Amino acid sequence: MNELVFFINNVVIAGSVTGSIYAIGAVGVTLVFSIMRFAHFAHADMMTFGAFMVLLLTAAFPGVGAAVGLPTAIVMLPLAMVLTALLAVGIDKAFYKPLRAHGVKPIVMVIGSLGVTLMLQGLIRLFAGTSGQSLYIGERKEIFRLALPFEGVRAPIVITEPQIILFVLTFACVVGLHLFLNRSRLGKAMRAMSDNPDLARASGINTNTIVAVTWVIAGGLAAIAGTLLSLDVTFKPDLSFFLLLPIFAAAIVGGVGHPYGAIAGGFVVGFAETLAVFNWAVLLRPFRDSLPEWLAQAGNLAFVGTEYKIVVPFFILVAILVWRPTGLFKGKVI
Amino acid sequence: MPLLEARDVHGGYGGMNILNGVNMAIEADEIGVIVGPNGAGKSTMLKAVFGLLTVSQGEILLRGEPIHNLPPNKLVQKGMGFIPQEKNVFPSLSVKENLEMGAFLKPQNTRRMLKQVYDFFPPLYDKRHQPAGELSGGQRQMVAMGRALMAEPELLLLDEPTAGLSPLYMNEIFERVKEINAAGVGILMVEQNAKQALAIADKGFVLAAGQNRFTDTGAALLADPEVARSFLGG
C-alpha cells in the first residue's frame, strides 16, 4: 500500500499538475493558431509575464491574501490576467498586426514571435533578475498530508495548496472555455473564423474583433498557467520558456486548432512525462520474492532519468508528426 | 433608382485585369443572372460587387450609394448577402450555429429568422444539431443560402449555387431562388446552367473577356439565336 501512495504522489498528482499547466498553455497556443494560423512561440513568455505581474502585485500588497484566506498571489491573479491580456493585445498591435497587413507567410509570423519571446524574456530579466523567487511573500505554502485509513500505510498522500488551486482553476478554465465557445455569440464567431475566415467576413463578422478577443483569452490563460506553475515551484524568468516544447507538443498531439484536443494533449504529454521518469521498481517491491533476481534487484526502473525529462515531449512530438500529423482530434497541420 | 448598378467596372487580381468594363443594373425585385464562357469574369464580377476584389476603375452603386472597395462586413451591414461557390459553410459548426452566424450583426433577429429559415428549408430543422460539414452538397447549399438569409438581405449574391448538384437539387435551388426573390430580395447570381438560369432571370448579362456581350431580359436572351449559338450550346 505504501507503494500505491508513492505512485499516487509521484504519478497521479504530479502528472495532473504538469498536465494541467500544459493543457492551459496549449489551449492558448491552439486558439491563437486557429484564428491567426501561426505558431505563437512567445506564448510561454506571456505565461512568465503573467506570473511576473503576480509577483509585482504580491510584493506591492503582501497582506491582501490573508484577509480572504487565499494566497495573495491568487487574489492578484485576475488583475495579472487583465494586464497580460493587455500585453497580448498590445504585442499584436505593435508586431503581428503590421505583419498581417503585409500579408506575410506564417513562417514570418513565427520568427516574429521568436523575436517577441526574446524581447519579453529580456524585459522580465531586467526587472526581476535571474534568480528564482517565491510567489509566497511572507506566507507559508500549505501542505496537506492525507493519511489513508488502512493498516500498514505509513506514507500520506501529499498535496499542496497551489496544486489544489491549480486543479480547481484548470477545471474552471475548461468549463468556462467550453461555455464560451459553444454558447456565446463571440465564441461561436471565433469557431466560425477558425473554420472559414472568408465566410466569417462575408457573414459580417468583424475579424479584428475576433483577433482581439483571441489575444485577450490567450493572455488571460497564459497568466493563469504561468502563475500556477510559479506557485507550484518558484518564479524564474526562464521557467515557462522551457515549457514551450511540451506545450507545443501538447497542442500538436491534440490536433492543432482544437481546444479540447489541446486539453487532452496537455494531459497526455504531462502524464507521459511523469510516467517516463517514475521509478517502476518501487511498484515491484511488494512482489520481490516472486520475481526473477535481475528484476527484483534493480534499483531504478525509470524509462528516462529526471534530468532527461524533456526528451519525452520531444519523442511524442516527433512520433505524432510522423505517424499522425493531424493529432488525436484531427486538427490542422502546422 | 436601381438596387444595384455597376458602371464600367474594371478590376482584377495583382495588377492583371479580368474585368474590362462591366455594366449592369438590377431593380429591387429582380433576378439578375450573369452567364458566359469560362474565364469571362463572371465570378470575378460578383466578387467585385461584394468587395472581395479591388475595383480599379468604374463604380458600383447600391441604391445610388457608391460601395466599391468597401470591406464585406460593411456591405453586409448595408443589406448585401453573399454565398460563395465553394467553402460556403462552416464545416465544424452545427447547422444551427451556421445560421446564427448569418445573423451575427443582428443578434436580436436570430430567433425569428431561424424559424423562417427552418420553415423555408425543412430538412435543415431536422439536421440542426449536425455539423454542416457532414451534410450532402444540396443540403450544404441550403445551409449556405439560409445563412445568408438570416441577415435579411435586400440583395443576395449567389456564385454558381447549383455547381456540382444533382438535377433534382438543381431544380430545387432554382425554385428556392425564385421564392426568395418573390419575398422581395433582389438576386444577382452567376450560373453555369445558363438556360435554366436565364429562364428565371429578369435581367441577363452575358459576359465574355470581362465585358458585356449581351444585356437584355432573360427571355429575350434565351430567344436570341446569336446568344444561343455562341453561349448556350445551340
Residue pLDDT, tens place only, A36-92: 999 999 999 999 999 999 999 999 998 888 888 888 999 999 999 999 999 999 999
Residue A334 has pLDDT above 60, yes or no: no
A188 vs B91, B101, B147: nearest CB: B101
Per-residue pLDDT, A332: 66
Residue A331: its pLDDT value, please? 64
> Within this chain, do residues B141 and B172 fall inside the same structural domain, yes or no?
no
Interface ipTM above 0.95: no
Instruction: Please list the pLDDT of chain B residue by residue as tens digits (234 residues).
Output: 899 999 999 998 877 889 999 999 999 999 999 999 888 899 999 999 999 888 999 999 999 999 988 988 899 999 999 999 989 999 999 999 999 999 999 999 999 999 999 999 999 999 999 999 999 988 999 999 999 999 999 999 999 999 888 888 889 999 999 999 999 999 999 998 888 999 999 999 999 988 899 988 988 998 888 888 877 765
A334 in any annotated domain: no
Same domain, B159 and B234: yes
Q: Are residues B95 and B143 in the same domain?
A: yes
Q: Are residues B168 and B234 in the same domain?
A: yes
Question: Does residue A191 belong to the interface with chain B, where contact is any CB pair within 8 Å?
Answer: yes
Residues B63, B27, single domain; the answer is yes
Range with the poorest average pLDDT among A3-17, A22-36, A284-298: A284-298
Out of A185, A188, A205, whose CB is closest to B93? A188
Q: Tell me whether residues B73 and A198 touch, CB distance under 8 A.
A: no
> Per the domain annotation, does A190 fall within a domain?
yes
User: With contacts defined as CB-CB under 8 Å, which chain B residues touch A185?
Assistant: 100, 104, 107
Q: Are residues B46 and B8 in the same domain?
A: yes
Question: What is the reported pLDDT for A290?
Answer: 78
Q: Which of B124, B152, B180 is the last residue of a domain?
A: B152
Question: Is the pLDDT reported for residue A110 higher than 90?
Answer: yes
Cβ distance A196 to B89 less than 8 Å, yes or no, reads: yes
* Contact at CB, A191 and B104, closer than 8 angstroms: no
Return the pLDDT at B93. Answer: 95
Structural domains counted in chain A:
1
Examine the pLDDT at A128 and tell me if it is beyond 90: no
Instruction: Report the alpha-carbon distance of residue A278 to residue B131 in Å, rounded.
Output: 42
Domain of A287 in residue numbering reads as 2-323
Check pLDDT > 70 for residue A333: no
Where residue B22 sits, what CATH number does that domain have? 3.40.50.300
CATH of the domain at A136: 1.10.3470
Query: Measured between CB atoms, does A209 come within 8 Å of chain B?
Result: no
B20: closest CA of chain A, how far (Å)? 25
Q: Once rounded to an integer, what is the mean pLDDT over residues A104-124?
A: 95
> Among candidates A23, A36, A17, which has minimal Cα distance to A265?
A23
Are residues B97 and B47 part of one domain?
Answer: no
pTM (two decimals): 0.90
Q: How far apart are the first and last CA of chain B?
A: 36
Interface with A, mutate which of B75, B104, B159 (most A CBs under 10 A): B104
What domain range includes position B206?
Answer: 1-79+155-234
Q: Nearest CA of chain A to the CA of B80: how many Å?
A: 9
Domain boundary among B152, B170, B199: B152
- Rounded CA separation B33/B186 (Å): 11
Cβ-proximal residues to A143 (8 Å cutoff; 6+ apart), any chain? A158, A159, A160, A161
A204–B104 C-beta distance less than 8 A? yes
Q: Is A170 helix (H, G, I), strand (E, B) or coil?
A: helix
- Other C-beta atoms within 10 Å of A122: how many? 11
- The domain boundary, picked from B135, B152, B169, lies at B152
Comparing alpha-carbon positions, the chain B residue that sits nearest to A206 is B73
Helix H, strand E, coil C: the string for chain B is CCCEEEEEEEEEECCEEEEEEEEEEECCCCEEEEECCCCCCHHHHHHHHCCCCCEEEEEEEECCEECCCCCHHHHHHCCEEEECCCCCCCCCCEHHHHHHHHCCCCHHHHHHHHHHHHHHCHHHHHCCCCEHHHCCHHHHHHHHHHHHHCCCCCEEEEECCCCCCCHHHHHHHHHHHHHHHHCCCEEEEECCCHHHHHHHCCEEEEEECCEEEEEEEHHHHHHCHHHHHHHCCC
Checking DSSP bridges between strand B186-190 and strand B203-208, what pairing results, if any?
Answer: unpaired
- B74 and B163 share one domain: yes
One domain, residues B49 and B96 = no
Question: Within a domain: residue A332?
Answer: no
Please check whether residue A177 lies inside any domain of the structure.
yes
Chain B CB contacts of A192 under 8 Å are: 90, 93, 97-98, 101
The answer to whether residue A333 is domain-embedded is no
- Percent of chain A residues topping a pLDDT of 70: 98
Q: What is the pLDDT of residue A224?
A: 97
Count of the separate structural domains present in chain B? 2
Domain shared by B226 and B159, yes or no: yes
Find out whether A165 and A68 touch, Cβ atoms under 8 Å.
no
| Nearest partner of A134 among A232, A60, A221, judged by Cα | A232
Of B77, B90, B92, Cβ closest to residue A199: B90
Q: Report the candidate in B189, B174, B191 with the shortest Cα–Cα distance to residue B231.
A: B191
Establish, for the pair of chains A and B, how many residue pairs have beta carbons separated by less than 8 Å.
62
Mean pLDDT of A202-208: 91
The predicted pLDDT at position A66 comes to 82
Inter-chain contact B104–A203, Cβ cutoff 8 Å? yes
Residue A329: the pLDDT is: 78
B90 and B194 assigned to the same domain:
no
Q: A333 or B176: whose pLDDT is higher?
A: B176
**B122/B169 same-domain check:** no
The distance of B147 to chain A (nearest Cα, Å) reads 8
Given a cut of 90, whether residue A22 has pLDDT beyond it is yes
How far is C-alpha A267 from the geometric centre of its chain's CA atoms?
A: 10
Q: Which of B231, B187, B233 is nearest to B209 (CA)?
A: B231
Q: Given a cut of 80, is residue A295 above it in pLDDT? A: no
Query: What is the Rg, in whole angstroms, of the alpha carbon atoms belonging to chain B?
Result: 17
A4 pLDDT band (50/70/90 cuts)?
confident
